[in-house]
Structure 1
Amino acid sequence: MKVIISFFFFIMTINTFAQDNILSSDEKNDGWKLLFNGSDMNQWRNFKKQDINPKWQVKEGSMILTGKGGGDIMTKDQYENFDFRMEWKISEGGNSGIFILADEKGKKIYSHAPEIQILDNEKHSDRKKPNHRSGSLYDMITSPAESHKKAGEWNQVRIKLNKGQLQVWQNEVQTVDILIGSDKWNELVGKSKFKSWKGFAKTKKGHLGLQDHNDKVSFKNLKIKELK
């Protein structure tokens, strides 16, 4: 019986992986493109480098930062108006992030790029500040508690940027809706750590990025549709 049960779960796992990192016919016709095909990371590179650190690996259909020192990574292509969807899973006590409009003019990937936070909201110390919890526009807009899941669970994120209007959903709950450069935006920046950061969120077109915050983190089903 144990052998039968183990085989059943093995088959279920294989079927789950097979359903990830693919586009439906409707998605293809609608202009969606994969940013990860489940087998390689050819569309990504490290910040200010042309290759990718081996600590970023592909395992079981996911892009995984396996340990400290992999460095921040970014898409090779740049995007201006887009609808980006993906899933992430953070390790216990872990921290990471998703960057938009990243450039390579600053010292770090986050020098000019707004970040959507990834966090273990229960065990990482950053949880103490509400706008540092997962799904938040980091240090600016707090995500609702109903958008949160526990560490080790997959989270769905959608980031839509169209003519400066930034909208974010985490686990189908909207967490952000703001116009970059608006009075409200400038007010929030003025109250944040980015207040004196020259060039922050000034780029109109940039790379998508994923953060190395020294913790194991996994990503899958990364896809994007460019908006006209």
Structure 2
Amino acid sequence: MKRALMLALLAIGVACKENPKENKEEKEEVIEIVKEAENEWVTLFDGSSFEGWHYYNGGPVTEPWKLEDGAMVFYPSENREEGASFNLVSDAEFTDFILTMEWKIAEGGNSGIFWGVSEDEKYAQPYLTGPEIQVLDNERHPDAQNGENRMAGALYDMVSPTQHVTKPAGEWNTFELMVNHKINKGHVVLNGTKIVEFPVHGPDWDKMVASSKFADWEGFGAYRTGKIGLQDHGDRVSYKNIKIKAL
């Protein structure tokens, strides 16, 4: 993507030195090339390393996350120290995007996918700022009994899935999250079906937050630009084929 941008910018510079009339169409074409390059899919996790990720408010990724068969897999420790946390966040920050990946949860498991995460020492966990799309074993985890807005694919504690298309624990689910502040829309597509739609800022967003457990959480959902997060909820979970495209 960087190479395409550099070539496009170089072409613009060359065009500007020549006859403006003759090169108007060429310059417009170059601008389109730049736009296309900016909108390319970027791989956030290619299955071979944890490059591009780190522990929230921490350092490089090590155990209990492991690389297995092209996926990053979290294995909860049996002797976990009190207060220990192994949430992952992306090195890069994003504002308007489409995020795609595959996830697989273990039996009875719980995890989540965050966006708009602010990495700051005053926030101990990514969920204090980043809204969450639930990753859950709906059949066995007790949170599924606390309301449909806590089931897999939900905008956690705010918007329930319109359909239940989650695959059983131990199977891979395809996932798409769109967040677009320009049009004030977000959505979740799970296994090819759009199951959740929501505003991402403004009065309607504020109403949703006010009716949720996050109503009095300073900083929650307040950052339009932030990091992508993957939750350590103490259960085994796997993620792979993570890509993102800026909008």
TM-score by length of 1: 0.83
- Counterpart in the other structure of 1:104: 119
1:146 and 1:173 in contact (8 A); partners too:
no
Q: In the aligned structure 2, how far is the partner of 1:72 from the partner of 1:29?
A: 29
Q: State the shift of 1:53 in Å.
A: 3.2
Q: State the shift of 1:221 in Å.
A: 0.8
**Deviation digits for residues 188-207 of structure 1 (CA, Å, limit 9, x no counterpart):** 21111000001111101000
Which of 55, 62, 67 is matched with 1:58 structurally? 67
**Deviation digits for residues 1-40 of structure 1 (CA, Å, limit 9, x no counterpart):** xxxxxxxxxxxxxxxxxxxxxxxxxx99961111111111
Is 1:91 matched up with 2:111?
no
- Counterpart in the other structure of 2:170: 152
- Counterpart in the other structure of 2:185: 165
**Structure 1 217/182 Cα, relative in aligned 2: closer, same or farther at 3 Å?**
same
Q: In the aligned structure 1, how far is the partner of 2:222 from the partner of 2:112?
A: 19
**Structure 1 223/201 Cα, relative in aligned 2: closer, same or farther at 3 Å?**
same
Is 1:201 matched up with 2:210?
no
Which ranges of structure 1 fall in alignment gaps of 5 or more residues?
1-26
Is 1:224 matched up with 2:247?
no
TM-score by length of 2: 0.77
Counterpart of 1:192 in structure 2: which amino acid?
S
**Deviation digits for residues 41-97 of structure 1 (CA, Å, limit 9, x no counterpart):** 111100001212311110111110012456100001101111110000000000000
**Structure 1 43/123 Cα, relative in aligned 2: closer, same or farther at 3 Å?**
same
- In our comparison, the structure showing a higher alpha carbon Rg is 2
Which of 67, 78, 87 is matched with 2:76 structurally? 67
**Structure 1 107/29 Cα, relative in aligned 2: closer, same or farther at 3 Å?**
closer
Is 1:136 matched up with 2:154?
yes
Structure-to-structure mapping, 1:4-19, within 5 angstroms? none
Q: State the shift of 1:99 in Å.
A: 0.3
Off by >2 Å, runs of 4+ in structure 1: 27-30, 144-147, 181-184
SS of equivalent to 2:164 = helix
Which of 132, 136, 143 is matched with 1:115 structurally? 132
- Percentage of pairs with the same residue: 37
Counterpart of 2:59 in structure 1: which amino acid?
Q
SS of equivalent to 2:152 = coil
Shifted more, 183-192 versus 151-160: the winner is: 183-192
SS of equivalent to 1:77 = strand
Q: Over aligned residue pairs, what C-alpha RMSD do you find?
A: 1.8
Counterpart of 1:133 in structure 2: which amino acid?
M
**Structure 1 188/30 Cα, relative in aligned 2: closer, same or farther at 3 Å?**
closer
Shifted more, 214-223 versus 166-175: the winner is: 166-175
- Counterpart in the other structure of 1:178: 198
SS of equivalent to 1:110 = helix
Q: In the aligned structure 2, how far is the partner of 1:29 from the partner of 1:226?
A: 7
**Deviation digits for residues 89-125 of structure 1 (CA, Å, limit 9, x no counterpart):** 0000000000000012322111011000000000000
SS of equivalent to 2:92 = coil
Q: In the aligned structure 1, how far is the partner of 2:162 from the partner of 2:138?
A: 12
How many residues of Structure 1 are paired with residues of Structure 2 in the alignment?
201
Counterpart of 2:70 in structure 1: which amino acid?
G
